[in-house]
Amino acid sequence: MHASLPANRSRALARAAARVNTGLVWAMGLLLGSYVGGLALHGEGFNLLVDGWLALLTQWVPVAIFWLAALRTRFRRPEILLAAAAVTSSALGDTFYLLALDGSSAAPFPSLADIGYLLFYPLMLAALATLVRREALSLAWPVVLDGVVGSLGAAAVLAVLLAPILDSATAGPSVLATAVAVAYPLFDLLLVAAAVGIAATQGLDIGRRWGLLVLGLFVYAAADVAYALLELDGQYAVGTLLDATWPIGLALITLWAEGAARRGRQHGRAAASAPALAVPAVAVLAALGVLILGSRTPLSELALVLASGTMGLAAVPLIFRQRLLRRQAATDELTGLPNRRRLYAEVPVRLAAAPDRPRALLLLDLDRFKEVNDSLGHDVGDQLLVQVGERLSSHLRGSDLLARLGGDEFAILLDDTGYLRSVAVAVGLKEALAEPFTLSGIALTVNVSIGIALFPDQGNDLGTLMRRADLAMYRAKDARSGHHVYVSDDDTHGDDRLRTLEELRTALVSDELILHYQPKVDLATGDVHGVEALVRWNHPARGLLYPDAFLGLVEEAGLMPELTCLVLGQALDQAARWQEQGNPLTVSVNLSASSLKNADLPERIIAMVEARGLPPHALMLEITEEFLMADREKARAILGRLRGGGIRIAIDDFGTGYSSLAYLRDLPVDELKLDRSFVMPMSDDTRAAALVASTINLAHSLGLRMVAEGVEDAAAYDELVGYGCDHAQGYHLSRPVPAAELDLWLAERPLPAAAAQGAQVYEH
């Protein structure tokens, strides 16, 4: 997939904005520290440097950070845009206010500065509403109710504290002055209520730095209240430490925006914290306190109404809240589908209600889903699961039950379904999921493995059906058939699989996994400068097993990192022994795509080479096109780090991948290994021979070496020499053999000059 030129420019602009933003964040911190220090030192009265220029800079630097954050998100995050507009409006108001001071300690009220100040509140409240709207809609009503209770309780308490300010404001010299004066405390009340509501809503996840946003709003509102109370007593003056609280609150809000732009939209739910759970309870007690106080002392109607509303919402019948919580407990929070708990509660009831009615239980597992998470991130993986759930639902009847069991596994109970229909449904679901999904601008295709167990023939309870559908699903995955209906032989297969897995775990720590080496012959000279290391399992009961007998199980069980480390260690140890013997050979090791997902793997490999005193070129890593095409940027970064350490890179099975050749130009690659499926038919197929010749020319034109795999006879060897191929390996030269046998082969083989005319076959 190729990005368009405007998209590339947009990403480059976003990266540049990120670098500038980092510098501005540091500048904001330095300015804020200087401003606070200046306020503490300059004494009473207006100071042009501190209360003028420094004060303005503490407002306008956050404005710049906000708009750069909006640029980094390509102006697609409305909450950041609204917040940027809010802080810009406040900065404009502050600028006008300081200009209006004109060296005095008071400014006219109301003025144009108040327009900028007041616009901050509705814009910031709109940003908060946009930020939490999507998350709040997906939360259970009791959870949202807790947030509302917390908001109203905080508002009731603040209404009591603001009562003197409101009373004073209503006595303003004019209608306009009264309206402006009343607007400030009312907006503060709304701002605090919103902040408390966010803190009280357990499970609400609006980003990792949401706490900075809430704290910043609290500080901002607290500064307003303190200012109003001082102004009410005629004690406020410009140049006190109170003036620093607005920039501090603004800085906290700015840090939230910068982090939100850098990390992108967050997904998932935050765990309920003790403070979040305590806020509604504290709000109820506070509202009760306001009502009790109101029975003894006259309070404003607003405070009494807010306190009454808090108590009323808190008194929602517990049975209603519990019913909603039970429904949430039976629902998968990511996809909205029934979860495992719902499946285990509902299916037995259905089976018992009609024990003679045929049904089918299907277990679905997405193939290689882990690679989506590793390559594109868990956010994209979550989006994929949501879309998979929606697509599965659209291809089922209303009476069928679809549940997400967890991870990338789904279960389906089909009503009135026997063998033929269950297979037809499985095929239809597989075809439906094969249609591309579009996620974050990337088109993904999904393969699925489906296991089927039939009721009542193959099990008359859910536990039995689940176990047998699971066995059938693994048979489908092993055979890559897409679906499989359980048969009695699958029990033996499942037992064998579990036993083999345990034996494999033992093999990783008991020296049962060994390496064989296959030489790569230089076709120009006949010399051998390198070998390929191939893993074998010396099974204590089954004898020597080849990779196709166990590598699939290694991947499924997540054991590939351990196997990779073991193979690399053995291969490098052998390379060190050959170097000590005066016969330095480059050892090639195959790395799977899953191994290369480990971020620190390049540095670990380089350290392993250095620890054995080997030159970096003693190791060549063979990777597949699959890894290169899954995430081009990540592949470039990983391969660049390996090449930076001197490690060579080869593309294995070249020509078999369904991909663009553009990566050969973009990525640091040394060698191509032409797959045996092109080499073996050369002598009988002129088109195959032409493909081989053109591929060799392509490699040379790009400055790459070409290695031909699967050289089985002298005719193929001679043809490759004629085409100018660089190296060859195959049974015509030598099978993969233990290191000791390879040493004998190297010692006994013909001289290089003779070998260039045709190599001796090594049989064993």
Taking only the tens place, the pLDDT of each residue in 694-737 is: 999 988 988 899 999 989 989 999 999 999 999 999 999 999 99
Higher-confidence residue of 226 and 7: namely 226
pLDDT tens, residue by residue, 726-735:
999 999 999 9
Banded pLDDT at 758 (limits 50, 70, 90):
very low
Per DSSP, the three-state class of 407 is coil
Query: In the predicted model, is pLDDT for residue 373 greater than 80?
Result: no
Q: Are the beta carbons of 620 and 586 closer than 8 angstroms?
A: yes
CA distance 213 to 125: 12
Closest CA relative to residue 228, chosen from 180, 190, 195, 298: 180
> Which residue in this structure is represented by tokens 């809010």?
86
Pick the residue with more confidence: 267 or 708?
Answer: 708
Q: How far apart are the first and last CA of the chain?
A: 47
Window from 274-288, 471-485, 587-601 with minimum mean pLDDT: 274-288
Least confident of 60-74, 138-152, 326-340: 138-152
Rounded Cα gap, residues 409 and 364, in angstroms: 6
Asked if residue 365 has pLDDT above 50, the reply is: yes
In whole angstroms, give the CA distance from residue 707 to residue 655. 12
pTM: 0.45
Distances from the Cα of 107 to the Cα of 96, 283, 357, 384, angstroms:
10, 38, 84, 57
Helix ranges, 395-461 (H): 419-434
Q: Per-residue pLDDT for 11 more than 70?
A: no
Mean of pLDDT values over 279-288 = 72
- If one compares 354 and 375, the residue with the highest pLDDT of the two is 354
- Cβ neighbours for 246, distance < 8 A, ≥ 6 positions apart: 220, 223
Q: Residue 48 has what pLDDT?
A: 79
- Report whether 562 contacts 508 (CB < 8 A): yes
Residues contacting 327, CB < 8 A, separation 6+? 140
Exposure string of 14-47, with b = 16+ CB inside 10 Å and e = fewer, is: eeebbeebeebbeebeebbeebbebbeeeeeebb
For residue 576, what pLDDT band results from cuts at 50, 70 and 90?
Answer: very high
Distance CA 692, CA 10 (A): 41
Write out the two tokens for 306.
């807010």
pLDDT in tens, 37-92: 888 887 777 777 887 888 888 889 999 988 888 887 778 788 888 889 999 998 89
pLDDT at 756: 40
The predicted structure's pLDDT at residue 591:
87
pLDDT band (50, 70, 90) for residue 156: confident
Q: How far apart are CA 288 and CA 280, in angstroms?
A: 12
- What does DSSP assign to residue 331? B
Higher pLDDT: 432 or 493? It is 432
Q: Burial code of 614-623, b = ≥16 C-beta within 10 A, e = fewer?
A: bebebbbbbb
The helix or strand, by DSSP H or E, that contains position 650, with its residue range, turns out to be strand 648-654
Using only C-alpha atoms, what is the Rg of the chain? 35
Lowest mean pLDDT among 4-18, 236-250, 550-564, 683-697: 4-18
For residue 318, is pLDDT > 60? no
Does residue 233 have a pLDDT over 90? no
Distance of alpha carbon 752 from alpha carbon 756, whole angstroms: 6
What gap in Å lies between CA 574 and CA 45, rounded to an integer?
A: 80
pLDDT of residue 511: 84
β-sheet bridge partners, residue 20: none
Residue 610 pLDDT level (bands cut at 50, 70, 90)? very high
Q: What separation in angstroms does the CA of 465 have from each of 131, 341, 345, 481?
A: 44, 16, 15, 20
pLDDT category at 94 given cuts 50, 70, 90 is: confident
Which of 113, 124, 271, 280 lies closest to 204, judged by CA? 271
- Considering only residues 380 and 762, tell me which one the structure prediction assigns the higher pLDDT: 380
- Residue pair 594/559 in contact (Cβ under 8 Å)? The answer is no
Kindly indicate the confidence band of residue 571, based on its pLDDT and cuts at 50, 70 and 90.
Answer: very high
Residue 587: pLDDT above 90? yes
Q: What is the pLDDT of residue 269?
A: 40
Least confident of 398-402, 444-448, 632-636: 632-636
**Mean pLDDT value across residues 484-501:** 71
pLDDT per residue as tens digits for the range 184-202: 767 777 777 776 666 656 5
Identify the band that residue 150 occupies on the pLDDT scale cut at 50, 70 and 90. low
Q: Is pLDDT of 3 > 80?
A: no
Lowest mean pLDDT among 23-32, 198-207, 353-362: 198-207
For residue 416, the 8-state DSSP code is: S
Nearest to 519 by CA among 731, 706, 700: 731
Average pLDDT, the chain: 79
Mean pLDDT of 354-373: 86
Tell me: cis bond preceding 615? Omega within 30 of 0 counts.
no
Of 573 and 407, more confident: 573
Instruction: Return the pLDDT at 18.
Output: 63
- Taking the C-alpha atoms of residue 434 and residue 456, their distance in angstroms, rounded to an integer, is 31
